[in-house]
Amino acid sequence: MQQLINIPDTRVFTISAEQVGIITSVENFLATINVGGIIRCFPICNVTAVGNNVLGNTLLKPVRKDMKGECSCCEDPATNELATLVNKTVEINYLTRPGSPSRLIGTVAKAGEGID
């Protein structure tokens, strides 16, 4: 997510909310976003999706099979599955807030360990 710092109109979806603003920092497992002058901070492990017009130019961290982080039990299976779907059209469902699932349909361009 660090590549998206200071880029306007970045959409960040978490398990409880959707924020549109400017990511101001990503450190210590926390992301901070400025939403119309209001600073909001949330754990990176709660991010379910990000969106921006420049996402096609972002670099993904390579898949690391030897690392086990606090989110690996959730993220590793999803990363492995997405890696098998590169260049295929898929439908991905994710949560933006409790009881409010969202859907994204598109072609998987690449898969990795999150945005570098």
Q: Do 10 and 4 form a contact (C-beta atoms < 8 A)?
A: yes
Question: Which structure tokens are listed for 46?
Answer: 């709660």
**What's the pLDDT score for residue 105?**
84
Block residue for tokens 């949330």: 42
Provide the 10 A C-beta neighbour count for residue 97: 13
If you average pLDDT over residues 18-45, what whole number do you get? Answer: 88
- Please, what is the average pLDDT of the chain? 79
Residue 73: which pLDDT band, with cuts at 50, 70 and 90?
A: low
**Domain spans in the chain, listed from the N-terminal domain onward:** 2-107
Provide the 10 A C-beta neighbour count for residue 109: 10
Angle at 99 between CA 97 and CA 101, to 5 degrees: 70
Instruction: Report the alpha-carbon distance of residue 98 to residue 14 in Å, rounded.
Output: 10
Half-sphere exposure of 108 (CA within 13 A, CB side): 19
Q: What is the pTM of this model?
A: 0.59
